[in-house]
Structure 1
């Protein structure tokens, strides 16, 4: 199909399906494979929120998608090893894949929940960054150390973390998964309506100079690259030995956007279909 035939139809956001194949997972012979053209298509997104009755347990609520047909992850490549006993080891190998998708959903009560759908693994780059703080008169610029949320720190050594490495998942063909690290929904140069940002912009809202150091406003004033942890699990449901195609379902649980540290993240569950080609 040509670009003009696909444009506006939503087909570009739909992962391929295996028309003919087998549900016998033993058709995937033990060995090392290159998994290409891996695609993840969310079909159901739920958000955990507090129950209506006071003191009740939080429940998963169904949501309405607001970002149309722009939710899938595609062009992902990975190394896949299948053992004689059915064990699986997957390591994403293509760092240029489309493995980040900003999505916004709406809860039944009308609240909108943005989040960054991803399967990026735990970050592995450490370093130091600074915040460019503009003076109220917008004349002088000075560098000030930027304070980071604890979720941006490596739990092993306390280093600051920025870029994510590729996903590593393990298990068996019916259930293999791994931990993911969700980057900040907003970049460091994003400015809120008050002109406050992570690496540029004002320190505080101009209308509240006298309360610039208030702890109550600290979360809104001090913007952070606020990443969070999650996990994803895959399951193989169908395979076509003649073409090397595999398909199945996945489920990921990850945090929502925090407005650069100003809000408490919500738990988001993404369920859907995945597809790939073994070679």
Structure 2
């Protein structure tokens, strides 16, 4: 199933990195730096130029790359998006083709359109309680990045951990399940605001067994089943998406995801 993504870029982010800062530092594609931040040119002469309020950029890249599995195990750090202090109002890429690596998406809130606890209350978007811990972010995403002469960009998802199963809980204690993803994303537009379509799989596959012990591909032969209390079939970042439909058995709820 296809869904759509709308994203608005911002270059002003909170900090979790303690480094000295200054205005007007230029970042070009030096191998030791660009590799650490996952951006490599695929056209001769193409380069990335940006202004960042940060000093000792090489040292920062080395800090990021020096983290080992045991240093982050059980801390939740691996599920958090790295941020840099400061920013600029504009961020220009030179004309050409790039290949981006280690792209990261971290949701910060999930808002579900559902009925309230009181009866005869119209549908409204509700804040939710996240039930999935430490595994709801997308990481290691890579893909092509093209800058056209007219200033538009085109991004295509190629590989990476580009989907994650998420469970949230409404105020009524109902659980809503869905797949947070940007799989097969093809997005275009200006750098300040771009969007596109991507594929969202069902939370449950055809072999999932419903409470009556039947599945889309297994039939009635398997009598052992787990209760299905879910919904979902689409999604979008900082936009709307349906939740899981339990293989078409339930009406999907609208989900709004906001993240960085």
Counterpart in the other structure of 1:183:
201
TM-score normalised to structure 2 length: 0.65
**Structure 1 vs Structure 2 CA RMSD:** 2.6
Counterpart in the other structure of 1:2:
68
CA contact (8 A) 2:110 2:255 kept: yes
Cα drift, residue 190 of structure 1: 1.8
Cα drift, residue 116 of structure 1: 0.8
State the number of aligned residues: 188
Once the two structures are superposed, the pairs formed by residues 102-117 of structure 1 within 5 Å of their partners are 102-117=165-180
Is 1:253 matched with 2:240?
yes
Once the two structures are superposed, the pairs formed by residues 10-29 of structure 1 within 5 Å of their partners are 10-19=76-85, 21-26=87-92, 28-29=93-94
CA contact (8 A) 1:182 1:227 kept: no
Is 1:101 matched with 2:175?
no
TM-score normalised to structure 1 length: 0.61
- The more displaced of 173-182 and 79-88 is 79-88
Quick check: which one's strand share is greater?
A: 1
Aligned equivalents of 1:189, 1:253: Cα separation in 2: 28
Selected match of 2:96 from 31, 50, 58: 31
Cα drift, residue 228 of structure 1: 3.8
Structure 2's unaligned 5+ residue stretches are 1-66
CA distance 1:175–1:53, shift in 2 (3 Å):
farther
Selected match of 1:76 from 124, 141, 144: 141
Selected match of 1:268 from 251, 255, 258: 255
Counterpart in the other structure of 1:61:
126
Moved over 4 A (4+): 203-206
Aligned equivalents of 2:205, 2:91: Cα separation in 1: 42
Structure 1's unaligned 5+ residue stretches are 121-165, 207-222, 233-249, 274-279
